[in-house]
Amino acid sequence: MDLDLAMKHGKDQGGGGCIAAQRFDGYKLGFDGYNTYLCGMTKKEVLVQVDKGLMLPLMEEFYTIQGEGFHKGTAAYFIRLGGCDVGCHWCDVKESWNADTHPPTDIEQIVQHAAKYSDTIVITGGEPLTWDMGPLTSSLKSHNLLTHIETSGAYTLTGEWDWICLSPKKNKLPEGPIYDKAHELKVIVYNKHDLIFAEEQAAQVNANCILYLQPEWSVRDKVIPMIVDYVMQNPKWKVSLQTHKYLNIP
């Protein structure tokens, strides 16, 4: 990992940051990276903290407008965590996949920074449920912040959430209980078969779950007409667009 990038979060947080590692390659697979850690922690100590959800691989964090789904148009602070093995071929954040390239960061530092910007915090990734979301969401709630998650549901749901956006993926289907708790179901449409997949997933969510079809950005011109026709014929669905990309914001 680029050292400057790894250090970026600490600098952005007013110099009070406490990034665990200058470089943290292989922290799940044996710590092949640097031995020198800020905070004076050993690799083993960091690993324990990550396993407990007290430190998380922070890829980026930013204050912006939620562009998608039910809360589109709402200002929110985004925390993007590294780590995802779902492997969507059209994924637009592939750099998030390898958690080893994102510095494990103390959750209290993450929360304190987020609280300065917004009362609505969106946890995204990567796949956030790779990690134990309990401590992070507990801390966010203790600061009276609203907790939103964007997840494929591929792993066990942890954490305390005010809003769950479930965006299931074909190659790693959600674990059962999240279907009962999801507030919105957002199916990314890359081709026609995704509409069949969308119906299969909609059949499993709770009755109050809001249903969205969202064009995959790279094929939007091709699939938007198909989605529009489908939603008009099946009005239980709504269209979701990645409006932040149209607005040219993060």
Computed on alpha carbons and rounded to an integer, the radius of gyration of the chain in Å comes to 18
Q: Does 152 bind ligand SF4 (CB under 6 A)?
A: yes
Q: Which of 18, 39, 91, 115 binds ligand SF4 (CB under 6 A)?
A: 91
Stretch that binds ligand SF4, among 40-48, 120-128, 192-200, 235-243 (CB under 6 A): 120-128
Strand, coil or helix: 216: coil
Q: Which of 13, 49, 96, 201 binds ligand SF4 (CB under 6 A)?
A: 96
Packed helices 107-115 and 134-142: angle between N→C axes, nearest 10 degrees: 40
User: Using CB under 6 A as the criterion, what x/- string covers residues 123-142 for binding ligand SF4?
Assistant: --xxx---------------
Strand, coil or helix: 32: coil
Question: Nearer to ligand SF4 by C-beta: 102 or 169?
Answer: 169
Q: Which of residues 159-178 bind ligand SF4 (CB under 6 A)?
A: 169
Q: Which of 79, 88, 107, 166 binds ligand SF4 (CB under 6 A)?
A: 88
Strands 163-166 and 146-151: parallel
User: Using CB under 6 A as the criterion, what x/- string covers residues 220-249 for binding ligand SF4?
Assistant: ------------------------------
Count residues binding ligand SF4 (CB under 6 A): 12
Provide the minimum distance between the beta carbon of 92 and ligand SF4 in the complex, in angstroms, as a whole number. Answer: 7
Cβ-proximal residues to 6 (8 Å cutoff; 6+ apart), any chain? 19, 21, 22, 23, 24, 103
Provide the minimum distance between the beta carbon of 152 and ligand SF4 in the complex, in angstroms, as a whole number. Answer: 4
* Three-class secondary structure assignment of 143-175: CCCEEEEEECCCCCCCCCCCEEEECCECCECCC
Q: Could you tell me which of 174, 190, 162 has the C-alpha nearest to residue 89?
A: 190
**Which one-letter amino acid corresponds to residue 101?**
T
Q: Which residues bind ligand SF4 (CB under 6 A)?
A: 84, 86-88, 91, 93, 96, 125-127, 152, 169
